Amino acid sequence: MSAAEQTAAVPLRRPETTVAGWQRAALLLAGLALAILPAFLLESFQLFQLTMAVIMALAVLGLNIVTGYNGQISLGHGAFFAVGAYVTAILMSHLDWSFWATLPVSAVVCGLVGYGVGFPALRLGGLYLALTTFSLAVAVPQILKHKAIEDWTGGVQGLFLVKPDPPSWAPFDPDQWMYLVAVLVSAACFLLAWNLIRGRIGRALMAIRDHPTAAEAMGMDIATLKTRAFATSAMITGIAGSLSAVAVEFVAPDSFTFALSISLFVGMVVGGVASILGSLFGGLFVLFVPNIAETVSKAAPGVIYGIILIGFLFILPDGFAGLLRRLYARARRGAG
Amino acid sequence: MEGLAHQIIAGIATGGIYAAVALALVMIYQATHHVNFAQGEMATLSTFIALSIIQAGVPYWLAFLATIIVSFVIGVVVERVLMRPVQNAPVLTHVGVFIGLLLIIGNGTGWIFGYTTKAFPSPFSSEQPLLGGLVSAHELGSTAVTLGVLVLVYLFFRHTSLGLAMRAAAYNPRSARLVGVRVGWMLALGWGLAAAIGAVAGMMVAPVVFLDPNMMLGILLYAFAGALLGGIDNPAGAVIGGFAVGVLENLAGAYVVGTELKLTVALAIIIGVLVVKPSGLFGRVVTSRV
């Protein structure tokens, strides 16, 4: 085969990838349609639960970007979730902003807070970062209850707010509309995260996780990328917090305990570390498993969480998404 | 002035507890380079076990001894069953297992013993006020007990061959294995000792803060802060750090931020130490070669 033939072979493959891209877009639309369907099928309480599962999936996605893809272990993402929720709640209840206007503000504030946490995190290796974020998670409710900011946060009582009204042209009730809002905002974030991870930046993040020295030698600016990964991650989790504030119509310090950060972490491990799709499973897990376990005993969710977490780490370290990937690969091998 | 003296003495008394938990953390860190997030929950479980034994009619000090032995066994079993299989796994897995352990032990304790806050007996009581009423008998007694434990641990590591073997296994596992030290068992022993020390800390703090399943979460945070302040690879430093954090926390609580923000003080100390002097006051500066 001559060199000319080889170079000629390259453009021939192009159309194929566009077809794959088109197929992917179709798949994505189908997935979105499937995601919207429950809005018309479920009762309002089940729909609320599903809304929360979507929101949790978004929060897990945020954690996955910094911990899964960039290898910076955060046990304190509940803090960013809380910041997002409180930004939205304060703007809506004190200043009468509309929900949509609070979203960009919440994203920016959470991004800045994430940047602020990510900066000292640079100096902390894996375990120390886990430790610091762990203490952040434990301290959050206390900070939120503090008297100095009580006028804004409502102290222990928290703040009440209302769901965004469905637009007048649309035949939805508020619960359905809330679900659609959560799905659309989350879908947009998932798409953005997907593009980020599949591109140059995503590869750089993973290179830094797997071999920082080699990554630096290849010219990656580790400090900048790590802090920005933290900021992006905090932003996504913060948006999830904003959504949860309006979905629950209430924020209070005790909704953002250390248990929240831990369940995001468990959701990430169970769904699949460093997997976009895994975050979705993680969200469903975080919401539904404790509900089922709680029927056994008040303490059961924690114990079952712990057992499932350790079980996954021992048996399926790449999570549910990894299991699906392997089953799919085996099925394809079997078929071909 | 008397208020200040009282705050400092109370700080030293709680600092003793932090010092003991910090020592437990440092021991596991030295042996395995892990920070055991579940150390506090394990101590709480031990304290509940102690309460059950005492309520069964066993005299306090006998129950104290029995609890230490049971806790030691629990520590060894946890290392053998849970940590051993993942010892070569990435840090994320270790953190995950610690968190899993925290969830299982913490919630399991609540499940078995209930969530109501319980009083825990103190073995120390005194008819007349001590030091002019500055210090309670329990404060004095618990400080003495924690200091006693620290001295025992020091003697164990310095002057017994088992202690020497444990230090060797932690310092250089490969060479230690070559000279016949059973490194795996040394790690398990380290876990057992840490759990036993945690149990002592739990039994000493429970009469003050009352016993409930979440008793140790805040204490664990202060112990982290103390261990980091003193240098996480230096047991003596961790003890000094623990006492320092106890005094700092009490003074800050009394004069600066009030009791609501006490946990945030721990967070501030942790971040402050890690940013300003990551090796702590007495720790070794580790340089890594590439």
Instruction: Collect all residues of chain B within an 8 Å Cβ-Cβ radius of residue A75.
Output: 95, 99
What's the fold here for domain A41-335? ABC transporter involved in vitamin B12 uptake, BtuC (1.10.3470)
Give the pLDDT score at B137: 82
Give the pLDDT score at B134: 66
User: Which phi and psi (to 5°) does residue B288 adopt?
Assistant: -105, 140
Interface of B with A in 271-290 (CB under 8 A): 271, 274-275, 278, 290
Residue among B97, B104, B110 minimizing CB distance to A313: B97
Q: What is the mean pLDDT of chain B?
A: 85
Residue among A123, A298, A302 minimizing CB distance to B278: A123
Give the pLDDT score at A8: 42
Structure tokens at B88: 């070569």
Mean pLDDT is lowest, of A67-81, A125-139, B72-86, for: A125-139
Q: Tokens 């003991």 appear where? A: B20
Provide the pLDDT confidence category of residue A141 given band limits of 50, 70 and 90: confident
Residue contact B103–A303, C-beta within 8 A: yes
Domain ranges of chain B: 18-215
Provide the pLDDT confidence category of residue A14 given band limits of 50, 70 and 90: very low
Interface of B with A in 34-73 (CB under 8 A): 34-35, 37
Show Cβ contacts of residue B134 under 8 Å, excluding neighbours closer than 6 positions. Answer: B2, B5, B6, B9
Q: Is the dihedral of CA A225, A194, A127, A143 positive or negative?
A: positive
Structure tokens at A89: 């709640």
What is the percentage of chain A residues whose pLDDT exceeds 70? 92
Whether residue A193 has pLDDT greater than 90 = yes
Residue contact A262–B99, C-beta within 8 A: yes
Of A99-103, A144-148, B250-254, where does the model show the most confidence?
Answer: A99-103
Q: Does B111 touch chain A (CB under 8 A)?
A: yes
Best of A73, A265, A313 to substitute, by most chain B Cβ atoms within 10 angstroms, is A313
Residue contact B224–A131, C-beta within 8 A: yes
Q: What is the mean pLDDT of chain A?
A: 86
Segment A249-275 mean pLDDT? 90
How confident is the model over B147-186, as pLDDT tens digits? 888 888 888 888 999 988 888 888 888 899 999 989 888 8
Whether the CB-CB separation of A276 and A191 falls below 8 Å is answered with no
Residue contact A67–B278, C-beta within 8 A: no
Q: How many CB pairs under 8 A join A and B?
A: 135
Segment A233-253 mean pLDDT? 93
Interface of A with B in 111-130 (CB under 8 A): 120, 123-124, 126-128, 130
What is the percentage of chain B residues whose pLDDT exceeds 70? 93
Mean pLDDT is lowest, of A217-226, A253-262, B123-132, B237-246, for: B123-132
Give the pLDDT score at B138: 83
Residue among A124, A135, A269 minimizing CB distance to B224: A135
ipTM value for the complex: 0.83
Of A140-154, A236-250, B167-181, B221-235, where does the model show the most confidence?
Answer: A236-250
Of A276-290, B64-78, B119-133, B139-153, where does the model show the most confidence?
Answer: B64-78
Provide the pLDDT confidence category of residue A10 given band limits of 50, 70 and 90: very low
Q: Tokens 């329990």 appear where? A: B138
How confident is the model over A51-103, as pLDDT tens digits? 999 999 999 999 999 999 999 999 999 999 999 999 999 999 888 899 999 99
Segment A103-123 mean pLDDT? 88
Whether residue A1 has pLDDT greater than 50 = no
Give the pLDDT score at A41: 83
* C-alpha closest to that of B149 among B194, B214, B93, B96: B194
Whether residue A236 has pLDDT greater than 90 = yes
How close are the terminal C-alpha atoms of chain A, in Å?
28
Provide the pLDDT confidence category of residue B37 given band limits of 50, 70 and 90: confident
Instruction: Collect all residues of chain A within an 8 Å Cβ-Cβ radius of residue B280.
Output: none
Instruction: Collect all residues of chain A within an 8 Å Cβ-Cβ radius of residue B97.
Output: 309-310, 313
Whether the CB-CB separation of A270 and A220 falls below 8 Å is answered with no
A250 pairs with which residues across the strands? A160
Give the pLDDT score at A57: 95
Instruction: Collect all residues of chain A within an 8 Å Cβ-Cβ radius of residue B82.
Output: 310
Interface of B with A in 176-215 (CB under 8 A): none
Distance CA B225, CA B245 (A): 7
How confident is the model over A150-164, as pLDDT tens digits? 788 888 888 888 888
CA distances from A183 to A23, A177, A187, A189, B283 (A): 21, 10, 6, 10, 50
Interface of A with B in 25-84 (CB under 8 A): 67, 71, 73, 75
How close are the terminal C-alpha atoms of chain B, in Å?
54
Give the pLDDT score at A16: 46
Long-range contact list for A45-48, CB < 8 A, 24+ apart?
Answer: A47/A175, A47/A176, A47/A179, A48/A175, A48/A178, A48/A247
Provide the pLDDT confidence category of residue B127 given band limits of 50, 70 and 90: low
